[in-house]
């Protein structure tokens, strides 16, 4: 049994799952779901799956990673579930929220597995404890069928964005942990993994206005890309140095601002032409809570490189 729990950092998992042994993993950069789940469930790095965030360019046009196309939105990958099937292990996946995303990204995650419809609501409940209870009930139902491996995607991330690691979120994780202990007592080897953590954000109107002015400056395409606390801009021809200087002036107090090639030189993503054609020329990586995230109503976000965002658990009961 594998719980694929979205949005849980290592320290939170260790506190909420006292019955588990938690190994520390380092997630992808950017520390965001679309990039991290592809790597976690296929073993493919960013240079292979080519999904660097939520919004990026493909063939010069902006796309959203969870959209329905194009088919070459991601590079060639093979899910772990396909490899397990070839070895004679059948996997049943309860996709939860990801069932709402019918494009090539979600298909790549579950390739080789059998999808099982949730018994509860497909959408994420407003109370994360209900999310956990529905997930446990669905897992119980599938385990009763005698599946070799059961995987359940559990969307805790939506609640974390709205309320941080609140008492309700911690209680939801405790519900999953209690169920894991129960499954293990029934001789079901039980594991959990997450894709990223999150950290507090505090919107600042002045910084947000600077970002808006930058996007509207004429130095770049008004459609930016990235994911949460990592955002990038696509400069218009001949304006790279001006855009880089303007971005540093606007965001230097709350972000490390660099060209995409400098990010590659630091080893944060590969210096691959196929990848770099998709990301923006100027990249801003959050270093402070006032970073202008795409959705200003978020209380917690992720995408950047702090330990809260990058360190995730692999838990074993």
CATH code of the domain occupying 205-297 = 3.30.1360
Give yes or no for a contact between 105 and 33, defined as CB atoms under 8 angstroms apart.
no
Same fold? 2-197+304-316, 205-297:
no
Write out the H or E segment, with its range, that includes residue 291. Answer: none
Contacts of residue 209, Cβ cutoff 8 Å, sequence gap at least 6: none
Give the phi and the psi of residue 70 in degrees, each rounded to 5.
-75, 170
2-197+304-316 CATH fold: Alkaline Phosphatase, subunit A (3.40.720)
**CA atoms 237, 242, 248, 250: torsion sign:** negative
* C-alpha pair distances (Å), 253 with each of 25, 82, 204, 257, 290: 29, 46, 12, 10, 9
Q: What is the pTM of this model?
A: 0.95
Half-sphere exposure of 153 (CA within 13 A, CB side): 27
Strands 61-64 and 91-94: unpaired
What residue spans define the domains of the chain?
2-197+304-316, 205-297
Burial of 14 (0-12, 13-18, 19+ CB in 10 A): middle
Q: What is the pLDDT along the chain (317 residues), one digit of tens a residue?
A: 999 999 999 999 999 999 999 999 999 999 999 999 999 999 999 999 999 999 999 999 999 999 877 889 999 999 999 999 999 999 999 999 898 888 999 999 999 999 998 777 667 889 999 999 999 999 999 999 988 999 999 999 999 999 999 999 999 999 999 999 999 999 999 999 999 999 999 999 999 999 999 999 999 999 999 999 999 999 999 999 999 999 999 999 999 999 999 999 999 999 999 999 999 999 999 999 999 999 989 999 999 999 999 999 999 99
- What DSSP assignment string belongs to 173-226? HHHHHHHHHHHHHTT---EEEES---EE----HHHHHHHHHHHTSSSB-S--EE
């Amino acid at each position: 049994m594998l719980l694929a729990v979205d949005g849980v950092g290592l320290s939170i998992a260790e506190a909420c799952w006292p019955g588990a042994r938690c190994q520390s993993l380092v997630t992808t950069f950017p520390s965001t779901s679309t990039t991290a789940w592809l790597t976690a469930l296929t073993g493919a790095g960013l240079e292979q799956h080519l999904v660097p965030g939520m919004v990026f360019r493909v063939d010069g046009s902006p796309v959203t990673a969870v959209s329905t196309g194009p088919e070459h939105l991601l590079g060639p990958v093979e899910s772990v579930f396909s490899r397990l099937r070839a070895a004679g292990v059948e996997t049943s996946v309860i996709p939860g929220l990801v069932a709402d995303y019918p494009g090539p990204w979600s298909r790549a995650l579950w390739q080789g597995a059998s999808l099982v419809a949730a018994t509860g609501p497909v959408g994420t409940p407003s109370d994360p404890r209900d999310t956990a209870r529905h997930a446990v009930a669905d897992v119980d139902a599938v385990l009763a069928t005698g599946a070799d491996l059961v995987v359940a995607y559990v969307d805790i991330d939506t609640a974390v964005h709205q309320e941080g690691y609140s008492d309700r979120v911690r209680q939801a994780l405790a519900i999953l942990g209690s169920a894991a202990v129960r499954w293990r007592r029934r001789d079901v080897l039980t594991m959990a993994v997450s894709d990223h953590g999150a950290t507090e954000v505090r919107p600042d109107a002045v910084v947000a206005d600077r970002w808006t002015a930058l996007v509207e400056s004429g130095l770049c395409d008004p459609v930016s890309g990235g994911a949460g606390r990592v955002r990038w801009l696509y400069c218009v021809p001949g304006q790279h140095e001006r855009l880089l200087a303007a971005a540093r002036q606007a965001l230097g107090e709350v972000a490390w601002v660099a060209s995409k090639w400098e990010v590659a030189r630091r080893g944060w993503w590969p210096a691959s032409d196929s990848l770099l054609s998709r990301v923006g020329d100027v990249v801003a990586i959050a270093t402070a809570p006032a970073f202008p995230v795409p959705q200003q109503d978020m209380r917690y976000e992720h995408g950047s490189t702090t330990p809260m965002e990058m360190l995730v658990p692999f838990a074993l009961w």
